[in-house]
Amino acid sequence: MRRLLVIAVLGLLLAVAGCVAPADDPGDLGAENGYRYDADLSITTADGLNASEREALLGRTMARVERLRGLEFTDSVEMSVISRATFRNRTGGNFDGTLSPRQRWNEQVWEALHIIDEDATYPESRSTNRGSAVVGYYSPSNDSIVLVSDSPTPQVDRRTLAHELVHALQDQRLNLGERRQRQDGQLAVLGVVEGDANYVEALYERRCRSEWDCIDIPPSDRTRPQSFNQGLFLVSFLPYAEGPNFVNALHSRGGWDAVNDRYDNFPESTEQLIHPEYFPTQSPVDVSVPDRARGGWERFSNLSEPRTDTVGEGSIYAMFVATDVIERTGAAQYNYDHPLSNGWAGDTLVPYRNDGEYGYVWRIRWDSRADAREFVRGYRDLLDSHEAEAVGDGRYVVSDGDFADAFRLSRDGRTVTIVNAPRVSDLERIHSSS
C-alpha cells in the first residue's frame, strides 16, 4: 500500500540509540549519485541549504542509509520543499466540518477512548497535530523527500532526512505495509515500517557522534498550538516509540534478514510491538459483541466493512495517559508498558446511532481476571476525572464537560463491557444487559 509517510522529529527519538545492536557488515554498499558515505561536503548550514547543497547532502545520506541498512537503492530519490500552509492543506487543512457516515463512525471510536470529544473532530485534531510537528516526509507516488519549510533555503534535519530515506528504500525494496482496516492492526504494521526507520536513524546518529562528519541539527522553533491533542499524538506516535524496540529485537535475533522478513508477515497487534517476546506466539483473540439494539438504535449499516474496530493495548494506554489516570510526563509517557493496559487479549468496539445521536459498545477481553479488575479500577478513575455520578448497577452519568454522557461498566470474569449513550435510559436500548 502506497501512502504518505511522515515523522515529527523529537529529541526523545534518540533515546533508542542506546539499545540498538551494531549494524551488519554492508559489504560494498555506500555510494549514491556520485557521493560516498564518507565524503566531505562543503555545506554552510547557518543560512539554510540551497538546491546544490541539498543535492549533495541527499546523495551522501542515501549512501549512508544503504550502508547502515544493508540494502541498495534501485532508483534515485528527489528532494523538494513546500510551505507549512501547503502541507496543512494536503493533509486535511481544508476540512469544512462536514463528516461522512464513515467519519461519524470513526468519531465514536475516538470518543470511546476519551481522546476526541463531541465538540471536536478527528480531521481537525489530526490536521492541527500534523501541521505543527511535521518537518518532512516521503511521498511514494513521486519517489520524493518533501521538506516542510517556509524558506526556499530550508534547514535540513539530518535525522529527518535519514528517516525518510529509509522509507524510500522500503518502497523500492520491501513492502510499505499491507492494508488493514482496524486501528490496532494498522498501528502494528506501522510499528515495523516506522520502527525500522527510527532504528536506522538511531544508528545514523551513533555514527555522527563517533566517526562521520555530519551537518549540525538545526534548532527547533516549532511550538505546539493550544489545541494540540496529546492523546491523539500518543496513539499516532506509538509506532515511532515502540517500533524501534521491536525491530531491535528482530535484528538481534537474525540480523537484517529477520527484519526484512517481517514485511511479509507483520505483527498482529500493538501488544506485540510493546512486548516483542509475544511475537509471533501470542495472537489477539476474537471478541464478539452481539447486536441487542432496539428503540431506533442501530449499527452503521451503510458502511463497507468493517463496522467494528479494535483499538488495542497501545490506544488503551494512550486513553489513560490523556485522562491523567496514568501520570507520566516527558519522555516517560512514550513507554507504553503499564499495568492498566498490560494483559490485553483482544477487543471490539461497535459504534451505534439513532437519528443524529450516537453511542457505542466496547468489549475487552483480558488475559486474567486480575488484569480485567485492574482495567475496571482504572476506568472508574477515568470516570471520576469527568466527575461522573454513580447511579447504580454499574451505571454512571457525566453531566457536564467534554464527555457528558451515560456509561455502563460491567465485568464478567476476564471480559469487560462498556456501553455509552446520551442518556441512562438509552443504555439498555443500545445494548441490553441480558
How do residues 369-403 score in pLDDT, each as one tens digit? 999 999 999 999 999 999 999 999 999 999 999 99
Residue in the block written with cell 527519538: 13
Which range is least confidently modeled, 4-8, 161-165, 187-191, 415-419?
Answer: 4-8
Decide: 61 and 162 in contact? Cβ < 8 Å.
yes
Q: Is the pTM of this model over 0.85?
A: yes
pLDDT tens track for 291-316 = 999 999 999 987 776 789 999 999 99
Average predicted confidence (pLDDT) for the chain? 90
Where would I find the H helices in 287-420?
312-322, 369-385
Burial class (CB in 10 A: 0-12, 13-18, 19+), 160: buried
Omega before 280 within 30 of 0, i.e. cis: yes
H or E element: which one contains 58? helix 51-69
The whole-number pLDDT of residue 176 equals: 81
> Using an 8 Å Cβ cutoff, are 299 and 350 in contact?
yes
